């Protein structure tokens, strides 16, 4: 199973069991090396919340590939009204799909969807994170979130192989908080995300990696550039 990083918070999980795309912000993403047309087959599209840098190309990709958008009920309902195939869930719930288990977790963030006509934001429900079990391994995409204590509970209940954690600060956790989150989650590997896409979330990823190595030596930090992959 391989984890491909496509910039910002977009990851592609590719294995024998299926091909999953998370937060497909490709169009308009200055760091993305992939384009929506590069994806001709997907088994699912996971969207953590409704902000444009996460919902991204999800609706277009669902229409073209037939892959369901898996999201909280309110966001899934919005995507369905736009013509996408969807599967609605909510925080705390889990479901077994042909490719594996999906469980939705808490994320401390918003989820407003920008109105196409420039009007008021559309309610997108709650932001979430995703636990994905595929081919016997648990992966955790935290979505956009601040640090929260229940990360310790997640780490106790699920043997996380790889955690994808935001480090960009301002809108999400910063470097210090992401290292503390790693202590709570206890994954084997952490891949930092949601940084350096825009000036407001500029971070020194080496600072994160060095601090992680010092404070959580049992967890390996793996920084991926857009277009790079990590084999699990």
In degrees and rounded to multiples of 5, residue 138 shows phi and psi of -95, 130
* Nearest to 134, CA basis, from 163, 98, 104, 158: 98
Whether residue 49 is contained in a domain is answered as yes
Q: Residue 78, SS3?
A: helix
H or E segment to which residue 180 belongs: helix 175-185
Contact 226, 1 (CB under 8 A): no
Number of domains composing the chain = 1
Whether residue 231 is contained in a domain is answered as no
Average pLDDT value for residue range 168-177: 98
Strands 220-221 and 18-22: unpaired
pLDDT at 117 over 90: no
Average pLDDT value for residue range 201-209: 98
CATH number for position 211: 3.60.15.10
Quick count: other Cβ atoms within 10 Å of Cβ 134? 23
**Rounded to an integer, what distance in angstroms lies between the CA atom of residue 83 and that of residue 198?**
30
Whether residue 65 is contained in a domain is answered as yes
pLDDT at 119: 81
Question: How many residues does this entry show for the chain?
Answer: 232
pLDDT at 204 over 90: yes
Whether residue 62 is contained in a domain is answered as yes
The predicted model scores a pTM of 0.97
pLDDT at 118 over 80: no
Whether residue 230 is contained in a domain is answered as no
pLDDT at 115: 86
pLDDT at 84: 98
Whether residue 232 is contained in a domain is answered as no
| Mean pLDDT score across all residues of the chain | 97
pLDDT at 184 over 90: yes
Whether residue 149 is contained in a domain is answered as yes
**Who's near 136: CB < 8 A, 6+ residues apart?**
none
Structural domain containing residue 178: 2-224
Question: In the structure, what pLDDT confidence band is assigned to residue 104 with cuts at 50, 70 and 90?
Answer: very high
In degrees and rounded to multiples of 5, residue 224 shows phi and psi of -110, 135
Question: In the structure, what pLDDT confidence band is assigned to residue 67 with cuts at 50, 70 and 90?
Answer: very high
Quick count: other Cβ atoms within 10 Å of Cβ 206? 10
DSSP 188: S
Whether residue 229 is contained in a domain is answered as no
Integer Rg of the chain from CA: 16
pLDDT at 12: 98
Structure tokens at 174: 């910063």
**Who's near 39: CB < 8 A, 6+ residues apart?**
21, 24, 61, 64, 65
**Rounded to an integer, what distance in angstroms lies between the CA atom of residue 97 and that of residue 110?**
27
């Amino acid at each position: 199973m391989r984890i491909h990083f496509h910039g910002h918070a977009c990851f592609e999980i590719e294995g024998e069991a299926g091909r999953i795309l998370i937060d497909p912000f490709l169009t308009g993403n200055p760091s993305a090396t992939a384009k929506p047309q590069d994806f001709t087959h997907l088994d699912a599209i996971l969207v953590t919340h409704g902000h444009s840098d996460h919902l991204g190309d999800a609706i277009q990709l669902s229409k073209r590939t037939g892959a369901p958008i898996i999201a909280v009920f309110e966001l899934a309902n919005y995507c369905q009204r736009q013509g996408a195939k969807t599967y609605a869930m909510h925080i705390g719930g889990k479901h077994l799909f042909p490719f594996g288990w999906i469980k939705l977790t808490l994320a401390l963030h918003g989820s407003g969807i920008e109105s196409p006509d420039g009007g008021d934001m559309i309610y997108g429900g709650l932001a979430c994170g995703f636990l994905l079990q595929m081919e016997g391994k648990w992966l955790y995409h935290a979505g956009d979130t601040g640090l929260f204590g229940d990360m310790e509970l997640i780490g106790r209940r699920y043997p996380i192989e790889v955690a994808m954690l935001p480090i960009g600060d301002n809108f999400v956790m910063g470097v210090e908080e992401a290292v503390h989150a790693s202590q709570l989650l206890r994954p084997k590997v952490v891949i930092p995300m949601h940084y350096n896409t825009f000036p407001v979330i500029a971070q020194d990823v080496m600072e994160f990696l060095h601090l992680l190595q010092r404070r959580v030596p049992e967890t390996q930090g793996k920084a991926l550039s857009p277009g790079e992959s990590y084999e699990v």
